[in-house]
């Protein structure tokens, strides 16, 4: 009997929907989730949260706490990125498992694991440490995946002549990393770092305001400050909190990201310098500072030389270490065998726990998935309705771009979770209640992905095609149908994939909230996860979490990947 093509491969492209690596990864996630849910059984029943001061004098400390968590997660993400990327490049055996793992991990709504992670850690660590570790882990999972993909892509696309030159000069691992791999990947890593920090703010705010029934896991920070101010209806504190958050984001942009972008221009592989290279006033001041030059010559230079000498001795030069002909598959096989036992036991126990879920609960999970899907779909449609015309206008009009693009960048950097308590305060009594607020929060978390991708697509339309459309005297609709929409289609799909993931993540904090001393919820899979956590129903928590993961992965594989392949094959300009 012929297998249905929609289950096993995309017929037009031959791209497999699922592989054996996907199956192992999904089963492994189910087993690990069971271990977390099992540990959550032993979490304390009552946890008192910290006192959150609404005094403006506390804001510098709260901003420092939030920045510290973000920086710790980013450092962990970069370490993971480098090690994981090298592991995939070194061995084709590991790559068959690690690539599907990475693909599925970036598709998982990370906030669905927040209750499991926090409760499991609180059973083995002091409450305050558990909450801090959980927040860093949560931010890490929002930053690491796209950084790893960018690093892996750079390692596999290094020009052959550069790799041969490094071999001719007998560079060891450290020198290859310092002079070839890192400079070649610098631009991609930097842009993905900016994206990772923007996404990290969203998850940081969610972690700082997390509560489960009588367990208060809030953390001192900007998110907890805004949540407390909105809960008490303190408008002055809300204004102070939002202003501090905007100040931090703008300061990071001016003193960190823009200087790094200007510095990274040196790593472009191009024959002709750009007419308008990126610039930064702070980078120019830093580069021309005599004090910095003195420190470079007397401190940084000598220390760097000693570090180079030490690492050259530690890693003697030899042939490129990730060539496949020198692989040792037994290392990978041994690791798999050692991990198979615990994962198999966890999977067995996860199945036993799932069997404890009643048919009525499974029906509720299905209804919740349907309700959340409708909200996600509505948020995407609303976002597309306004981002498409505005994105095209900004991308095709340099004067308008100069006025609106900086405003849009600042607005996009403000995490939706930080503003959610504020909007909840004003919208909770409107018709539709929390359902309307949930869609609005999803919209705040999705629209910027679409807008920036549409701006990039509109900016990339060749000028000669615009002139041709003008010479042919195409009307507005004809121009959109034959030029603008086909040119934007790949960018819209790319933005929609990221926006859909953001919307599913937002459902965890949008469909169930603790506000004004009481729990408010609406039907949805995010609400089901939160209520199962609050009531201690861990079989339901496991079932709803795995259902959400499976739903998002299926949507990505069966819908977005099909459209992405169509965009690559039919709407690519060449």
DSSP calls for 352-367:
HHHHTS-HHHHHHHHH
Q: Which letter, b or e, does each residue of 36-65 get, where b requires 16 or more Cβ atoms within 10 Å of its Cβ?
A: bbbbbeebeeebebeebebeeeebeebbeb
Q: How far is CA 123 from the centre of its chain?
A: 27
Determine the 3-state secondary structure of 212 from DSSP: strand
**Amino acid 272: pLDDT:** 46
**Amino acid 324: pLDDT:** 44
List beta partners, residue 458. none
Q: How far is CA 148 from CA 89, 192, 463, in A?
A: 12, 9, 34
Instruction: Return all residues near 315 (Cβ < 8 A) that are at least 6 apart.
Output: 172, 173, 174
**Amino acid 23: pLDDT:** 65
DSSP assignment of 265-282 equals GGG---SS--SS----HH
The answer to whether 192 and 150 are in contact (CB under 8 A) is yes
DSSP assignment of 499-542 equals HHHHHHHHHHHHSEEEETTEEEE-SSHHHHHHHHHHHT-HHHHH
Structure tokens given for 126: 């002091």
What distance in Å separates the CA atoms of residue 278 and residue 294, rounded to the nearest whole number? 26
**Amino acid 16: pLDDT:** 52
Q: Which residue has the tokens 């609005």?
A: 440
Q: How far is CA 137 from the centre of its chain?
A: 12
Task: Report the run of H or E that residue 36 belongs to, with start and end.
Answer: helix 20-40
**Amino acid 59: pLDDT:** 92
List beta partners, residue 520. 513
Q: What parts of the chain have a pLDDT lower than 50?
A: 1-15, 271-272, 274-275, 319-326
The answer to whether 327 and 90 are in contact (CB under 8 A) is yes
Task: Report the run of H or E that residue 9 belongs to, with start and end.
Answer: strand 9-10
The answer to whether 74 and 150 are in contact (CB under 8 A) is no
Instruction: Return all residues near 132 (Cβ < 8 A) that are at least 6 apart.
Output: 69, 219
Q: Note the pTM of the prediction, 2 decimals.
A: 0.73
What distance in Å separates the CA atoms of residue 94 and residue 331, rounded to the nearest whole number? 10
The pair phi, psi for residue 357, each rounded to 5°, is -75, 130
The answer to whether 220 and 227 are in contact (CB under 8 A) is no
Q: What is the pLDDT of residues 524-533, one digit of tens each?
A: 888 888 788 7
What distance in Å separates the CA atoms of residue 95 and residue 87, rounded to the nearest whole number? 8
What distance in Å separates the CA atoms of residue 529 and residue 455, rounded to the nearest whole number? 36
Q: How far is CA 237 from CA 117, 337, 516, in A?
A: 31, 55, 16
Instruction: Return all residues near 399 (Cβ < 8 A) that are at least 6 apart.
Output: none
Q: What is the pLDDT of residues 276-305, one digit of tens each?
A: 566 777 888 888 888 888 888 888 778 878
Structure tokens given for 380: 């995407």
Map out the domains of the chain with their CATH numbers. Answer: 47-271+282-327 (1.10.3720.10), 358-574 (1.10.3720.10)
Determine the 3-state secondary structure of 215 from DSSP: strand
The answer to whether 454 and 389 are in contact (CB under 8 A) is no
Q: Which residue has the tokens 């070649």?
A: 184
Q: Which residue has the tokens 């615009």?
A: 466
CA dihedral 472, 474, 480, 486 (to 10 degrees): -30
Structure tokens given for 308: 């180079």
Q: How many CB atoms neighbour CB 262 within 10 A? A: 19
Determine the 3-state secondary structure of 17 from DSSP: coil
Q: What is the pLDDT of residues 241-259, one digit of tens each?
A: 888 988 888 888 888 888 8
What distance in Å separates the CA atoms of residue 189 and residue 197, rounded to the nearest whole number? 12
Determine the 3-state secondary structure of 15 from DSSP: strand
Select from 441, 570, 458, 455 the least CA-distant residue to 512: 441
DSSP assignment of 454-494 equals HHHHHHTS-HHHHHHHHHTT--HHHHIIIIIHHHHHHHHHH
């Amino acid at each position: 009997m012929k297998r249905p093509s929609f289950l096993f491969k995309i017929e037009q492209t031959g791209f497999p929907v699922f592989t054996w690596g996907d199956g192992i990864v999904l089963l492994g996630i189910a087993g690990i989730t069971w271990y977390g849910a099992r540990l959550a059984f032993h979490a304390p029943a009552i946890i008192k949260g910290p006192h959150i001061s609404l005094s403006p004098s506390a804001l510098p400390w709260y901003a420092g706490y939030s920045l510290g968590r973000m920086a710790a997660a980013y450092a962990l993400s970069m370490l993971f990125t480098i090690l994981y990327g090298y592991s995939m490049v070194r061995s084709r055996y590991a790559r068959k498992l690690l690539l599907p793992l990475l693909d599925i991990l970036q598709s998982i709504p990370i906030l669905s694991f927040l209750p499991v992670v926090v409760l499991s850690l609180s059973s083995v660590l002091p409450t305050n440490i558990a909450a801090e570790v959980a927040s860093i882990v949560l931010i890490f999972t929002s930053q690491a995946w796209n950084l790893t993909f960018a690093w892996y892509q750079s390692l596999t696309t290094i020009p052959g002549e550069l790799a041969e030159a490094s071999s001719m000069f007998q560079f060891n691992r450290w020198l290859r990393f310092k002079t070839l791999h890192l400079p070649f990947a610098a631009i991609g890593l930097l842009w993905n770092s900016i994206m990772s920090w923007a996404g990290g703010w969203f998850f940081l705010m969610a972690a700082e305001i997390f509560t489960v029934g009588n367990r208060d896991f809030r953390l001192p920070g900007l998110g907890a400050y805004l949540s407390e101010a909105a809960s008490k209806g303190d408008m002055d504190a809300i204004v102070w909190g939002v202003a501090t958050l905007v100040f931090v984001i703008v300061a990071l942009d001016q003193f960190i990201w823009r200087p790094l972008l200007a510095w990274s221009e040196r790593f472009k592989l191009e024959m002709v310098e750009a007419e308008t290279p990126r610039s930064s006033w702070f980078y120019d001041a830093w580069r021309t500072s005599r004090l910095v030059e003195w420190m470079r010559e007397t401190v940084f230079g000598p220390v760097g030389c000693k570090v180079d000498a030490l690492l050259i001795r530690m890693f003697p030069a030899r042939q490129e270490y990730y060539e496949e002909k020198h692989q040792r598959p037994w290392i990978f096989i041994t690791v798999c065998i050692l991990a198979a036992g615990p994962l198999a036991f966890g999977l067995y126990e996860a199945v036993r726990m799932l069997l404890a879920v009643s048919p009525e609960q499974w029906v509720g999970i299905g209804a919740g998935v349907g309700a959340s899907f409708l909200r996600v779909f509505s948020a995407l449609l609303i976002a597309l309705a306004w981002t498409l015309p505005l994105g095209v206008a900004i991308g095709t009009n340099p004067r308008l771009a100069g006025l609106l693009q900086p405003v849009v960048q600042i607005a996009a950097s403000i995490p939706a979770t930080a503003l959610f308590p504020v909007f909840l305060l004003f919208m909770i009594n409107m018709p539709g209640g929390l359902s309307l607020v949930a869609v609005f929060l999803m919209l705040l978390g999705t629209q910027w992905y679409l807008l920036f991708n549409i701006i990039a697509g509109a900016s990339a339309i060749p000028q000669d095609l615009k002139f041709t459309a003008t010479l042919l005297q195409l009307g507005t609709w004809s121009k959109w149908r034959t030029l603008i929409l086909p040119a934007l289609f790949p960018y819209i799909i790319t933005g929609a994939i990221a926006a859909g993931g953001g919307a599913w993540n937002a459902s965890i904090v949008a469909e169930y909230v603790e506000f004004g001393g009481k729990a408010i919820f609406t039907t949805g899979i995010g609400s089901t996860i939160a209520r199962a956590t609050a009531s201690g129903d861990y079989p339901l928590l496991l079932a709803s979490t795995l259902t959400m993961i499976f739903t998002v992965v299926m949507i990505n594989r069966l819908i977005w990947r099909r459209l992405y392949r169509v965009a690559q094959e039919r709407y690519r300009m060449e």
